[in-house]
Structure formats: C-alpha cells, structure tokens
Amino acid sequence: MKESDWKCFKRIHKTALKKHCEVTLKHLAKITSEGPDDPHGAYLEAYKYMMKRDKELAEVFNDYRRSTALTQLRFMINMKIVSEVDLEGLSEESRARLQPYEEE
C-alpha cells in the first residue's frame, strides 16, 4: 500500500471506529430503554449485543497493518460505516482493489 493510501486509511479507520462505536452505543441505549421490562432480561439482551459488536470490532479494527488495510476497508464498507466519500483520498489502484469481484 502506498504511503498516501496508508495515511488515508488511518483517517478512515479512525472515523469508521468512531461511527461503529456511536451506532453500537445508540442501539445499546435503545435496548436498555425500550427492551424487556425485566431488568435481567434487558441486561442479557444488552450483554449479547455487546459481545456480538465487540467481536465485529475486533475482526474489523484490531489488525491495524498496511497488509490488512484493504481487507479491513472491505469489512467497513460491508458494515456501511465507510462511504464512497470516505474513500475519495485513496489511489485509483486501491479503490479498484476494493471493488466487488465480478461474476463470470
């Protein structure tokens, strides 16, 4: 990955992590305010949700290296926490590698 793409990726990574956490916290607030009336039920639902989101966070954000950057970006795009606007700073080469594979 080119240096310019790496710098762009670092910016995207930071923004996407923030968005992932914001979405997670917003949904967690919904679970705790609108979820089961039973406090234990709400706790269990919130716990399961946080475990799922924590696993996603680890898979997408923890392996922070140039060699995994494009894979991470694909995950972020699939999660809809990165938009085309976010990718504008990447080189054409890197953007082309992020395109879905065409079926033959």
pLDDT digits (tens, 9 = 90+) for 52-99: 999 999 999 998 889 889 989 999 998 999 988 988 889 989 888 887
pLDDT at 102: 47
pLDDT at 51: 96
**Would you say residue 12 lies in a domain?**
yes
d(CA 76, CA 98): 11
Provide the domain count of the chain: 1
Res. 17 pLDDT band, cuts 50 70 90: very high
**Would you say residue 39 lies in a domain?**
yes
* pLDDT tens for each residue of 32-57: 888 778 889 889 999 999 999 999 99
Which residues constitute the domain of residue 79?
3-83
d(CA 68, CA 66): 5
**Would you say residue 16 lies in a domain?**
yes
d(CA 61, CA 41): 30
**Would you say residue 24 lies in a domain?**
yes
And the tokens for 16? 């996407």
**Would you say residue 44 lies in a domain?**
yes
**Would you say residue 89 lies in a domain?**
no
**Would you say residue 54 lies in a domain?**
yes
On the question of pLDDT at 104 being above 70, the answer is no
Res. 100 pLDDT band, cuts 50 70 90: low
**Would you say residue 88 lies in a domain?**
no
* Helix-then-strand count for the chain, H and E: 4, 0
